[in-house]
Chains A and B, each alone.
Chain A
Amino acid sequence: MAALLPFYGGGRVEAADLALALTALACLLLRSAGVWLAGGLGADHPIIAWATAIAQATLAAFVMLAIIAPSGALADVPLAARLCGLGVGVAVCLAFGRNLLPALVVGLVAMLALRALLA
């Protein structure tokens, strides 16, 4: 047990531990509540369609914000480079049978290349 303390930090991080435990519990409850609420509903039920639309819209909003107005280290990358990476990646994805891995790599390379050019 004592050998694990450096890995887990001992009593030094009690506030972070408590925050982590509470957040993890809440996330588990959210997931469980979703499964419980949807139980018995068919895939074509309007509530399922509504929840699916909310989940997809949330993901789209997340992507939009992460590309247009990111925080942290990504904010230092010029907007043009971020948009270039996104545009090239999506174009490759749509042009080559929706194959995600090559599109991901090419999009990332495009972002890095334009960032280097603009630096």
Chain B
Amino acid sequence: MGSVTSSRGAALFGARDAVGAAGVAMAATFLAFGAAVREAGLPPGWALVACWAIYGMPGQLVLVQAASTGFVGGIAPAVMGAIAVNARFLPMAIAITPLFGVAERKRLIPAIPFIAVTPWAAAMRAFPKIAAGARLAWFLGFGLTSWVVAGLAALAGFYVAGMLDDHARAALLFVNPLYYALLLAADLDKPAPRRAILCGAAAAGLVFILPSSMGLLAAGIIGGTAAFLWGRARGGR
């Protein structure tokens, strides 16, 4: 069923995928992040380490916003907020692990830092075209390339921060949700993702009644659980 079978070919295929729409979306978002880091008074090295070590934009932004206020509420609330908005890494890691078709968990260690929204969503789309034995190579090719794109874009954003007005920054910030929306839209013809998308969108309103750092996580858990139960009620279709 997979059309890409060799590991080398899959890694190159992954790298190529990472510089397409995913690369454009990631570069735009991380450019805006780099500019925000500079405005918060943090150095470029911090922007680079945040991109590569956290690799989850909502959590990165929580820290930058806290830093811009001088951590007036302390470090702990900022860290807890950043972890809460990036808690989706846990279900994403659970969901993608069996798809690698790797029996030994040790072999997945190099892939762990790359489990984030963009590689995860791209993998869910690409994996059906890749033989199980070559999926880890695809993921590493995609993940490494998108890491490099993210880091370079953040540094570029740091150094061109003064040239970006609010209009330019708004355009950059729009690219990321639009890209994710397109990834989700491409899955609308499949019953299980369609249910999850509808329930997640419907549950998004929870953000307005819960603390902001917990709202997205709660929307995902409640919306996803509702979609899962809906699917079970329909016989898992």
Contacts and interface: CB of A to CB of B under 8 A. Distances in A.
Interface in B68-93: 70-71, 75, 78-79, 82-83, 86-93
B63 A16 contact: yes
Interface residue range, chain B:
35 or more
A51 B184 CA distance: 16
Contact of B173 (A6, A42, A63, A74): A74
Contacts of A48: 94-95, 98
Nearest to A50: B228
Contacts of B193: 56
Nearest to B82: A23
A80 interface: no
A24 B55 CA distance: 8
Contacts of B183: 59, 100
Interface residues of A, number: 81
Interface in B155-200: 166-167, 169-171, 173-188, 192-193, 195-200
B66 A35 contact: no
A16 B50 CA distance: 10
Interface of A: 4, 6-9, 12-13, 15-24, 26-28, 30-39, 41-43, 45-70, 72-74, 76-77, 82, 85-86, 89-90, 93-94, 98, 100-101, 103-105, 107-108, 111-112
A18 B123 CA distance: 32
Given A57-B203, A59-B200, A73-B169, A85 B88 contact: no
Contact of B93 (A23, A38, A58, A111): A38
